[in-house]
Structure 1
């Protein structure tokens, strides 16, 4: 497992992290024992970065992480969580000092720690990025010893560019994958200039880039890949990276010839992300130790050839960009 420094924190983290949304909820049923086994499997492979949120399973994800930390003992990995999405309705007016402190206090209890490594504002409304008072609240939490660092999780590139104008923002979490390439055109360079870490979520486009889905694939009623395809519950870009399912399946078939022998498509997709030097860590989910190991192994793959990188770019521009590039 290779490591990269996350922004100005000075902390090195594994370039393949563990995304803990799937073990919290909204991805179909995952038992607590399976969730813990998956996380143990990732940590056994050298994963040192875990990403979660207070709303994943209404805190279930955070509590499972805390239990695994207790079971393992020793040094804790870098654990990032998020705050803001407990608001109902989720509106800018709710991002008050009292609410944010309440959310962080709850995460402190769930994660059984006295200080959180990183708290990310959880895809807040766009107007929040123009409200310095909100970012001052996060600064004050550092002073109070509740958090070590803060960052943002964004939907849009424009939000990310605005967020990194705040000197205290050490990281940005965003969607970046073969089907969502816009961040590479400007944002990654700006993040590097400012020493901002980049955490990549939805790296496999909700499983599409595993190459295992077909038109006959079905999803459970509690799986966002069924109930959020058009943004019914949250931003539709979080589901299949916002690409229409049939269009994505066709693109996946055109990707298959580019995948080297002995490498899965999912590993190829993860390695493609790591070709971008502005990326700090990628956070695929895993529901079992085998998936966790396969994800981790992508860190040790050889670089993707220039020819294949260009072929992926051409595919994006010809088949995918018209559906997503202007939206996020």
Structure 2
């Protein structure tokens, strides 16, 4: 597994990262034993970057990772943790809290659940509209100085917010959705990151499975699967979007790879400063994703991919309307 460095000040991590959210029920029931085996397989394949959030099933994901990582050399992997999203006992979302005192409280709980003495990259999950980003980053900076955090990251914020945060403390990376059908980051955010020397970790590279080549027309999201509320998976939108996938499949077949591999490789090909995160919940899906990092996409390949899935070709927002206002950039 090759490595990429997150920005000028961030860590050198595997060129492909593992997103663990789906292992805690975001896309329906997950198998605990298989999830742990998938984490182990990722590490053994050279994946070093593992992403989680303290609100993923209210701490379940962190506890799962603690079990999966127990006994491993702490310097052999990097933990990226998001914080600040509030949830109720019915799993409903209740806003954001990124006050300095909340930052330290959330961090203390994450360190305990994960069974570690430090977080490699710590980031607010979303911008708290009630708290200046300078105060939030300032609090994490104190935790860096105290040794509890190694690097500071951001998630789903705009270029102006990135600049304000970076002025307080160097930002290692921005985590944001970026895929063939989610390209708003290219307009203002990606140029700002490159100007400032900040890396990008891209989640949703398969758009929650929509462009994996495995989602089919008529497939219904099961109980607990958040895709049942996603506009891109709804009604006529999903039919249109799956037609894009079929166009992409023809390019993949000509290249001798799967649709998922082509979609992941496309994100990785957008720059050495970008690390795709794959939300593999099983060893089978992980095994499919890993070869994507060895795909060499030529200029002709990239042109064919753009022809199959032009920018802004997808229909439907990437989140339900209630969540769109919390994002620094749109689709």
The question of a shared fold, defined as TM-score above 0.5 by the shorter chain, is answered with yes
Tell me which interval the TM-score lies in, with the shorter structure as reference length: 0.7 to 0.9
Matched residue, 2:246:
253
CA-based RMSD of the aligned residues comes to 2.7
- Cα deviation code 1:59-118 (max 9, x no counterpart): 1211121222214446430111111013667446x3222211111001000111111111
Shift in CA distance, 158/204, structure 1 to aligned 2, threshold 3 Å: farther
Matched residue, 1:115:
118
Following superposition, the deviation at residue 290 of structure 1 comes to 2.0
Following superposition, the deviation at residue 163 of structure 1 comes to 4.6
Structure 2 CA distance for aligned equivalents of residues 5 and 211 of structure 1: 30
SS of 1:148 mapped into structure 2:
strand
Matched residue, 2:323:
none
Structure 2 CA distance for aligned equivalents of residues 252 and 85 of structure 1: 32
Matched residue, 1:293:
287
Structure 1 CA distance for aligned equivalents of residues 128 and 224 of structure 2: 25
- Cα deviation code 1:238-290 (max 9, x no counterpart): x769x932221121112122114431100000000011115431111112112
Matched residue, 1:7:
7
Structure 1 CA distance for aligned equivalents of residues 24 and 7 of structure 2: 27
SS of 1:246 mapped into structure 2:
helix
Structure 2 CA distance for aligned equivalents of residues 278 and 156 of structure 1: 21
Whether the aligned pair in 1 keeps the contact of 2:212 and 2:259 (CA below 8 Å) is yes
Whether the aligned pair in 1 keeps the contact of 2:178 and 2:205 (CA below 8 Å) is yes
> How many pairs align?
315
Instruction: Tell me: higher relative CO, structure 1 or 2? Use CA pairs within 8 A at least 6 residues apart.
Output: 1
Matched residue, 1:229:
230
Moved more, 165-174 or 25-34: 165-174
Say whether 1:284 aligns with 2:270.
Answer: no
Following superposition, the deviation at residue 291 of structure 1 comes to 1.4
TM-score, L = length of structure 1: 0.86
Whether the aligned pair in 2 keeps the contact of 1:179 and 1:205 (CA below 8 Å) is yes
Shift in CA distance, 257/157, structure 1 to aligned 2, threshold 3 Å: farther
Moved more, 160-169 or 202-211: 160-169
Moved more, 106-115 or 132-141: 132-141
Structure 2 CA distance for aligned equivalents of residues 55 and 182 of structure 1: 26
Following superposition, the deviation at residue 316 of structure 1 comes to 2.2
Structure 1 CA distance for aligned equivalents of residues 317 and 226 of structure 2: 20
User: What are the equivalent positions in structure 2 for 1:53-202 lying under 5 Å apart?
Assistant: 53-73=53-73, 75-86=75-86, 90-91=94-95, 94-125=97-128, 128=131, 130-154=132-156, 160=162, 163-164=165-166, 166-202=168-204
Unaligned runs of at least 5 residues, structure 2: 319-328
Following superposition, the deviation at residue 131 of structure 1 comes to 3.8
- Cα deviation code 1:155-204 (max 9, x no counterpart): 65665566555543221000110001232344323212212111100010
TM-score, L = length of structure 2: 0.85
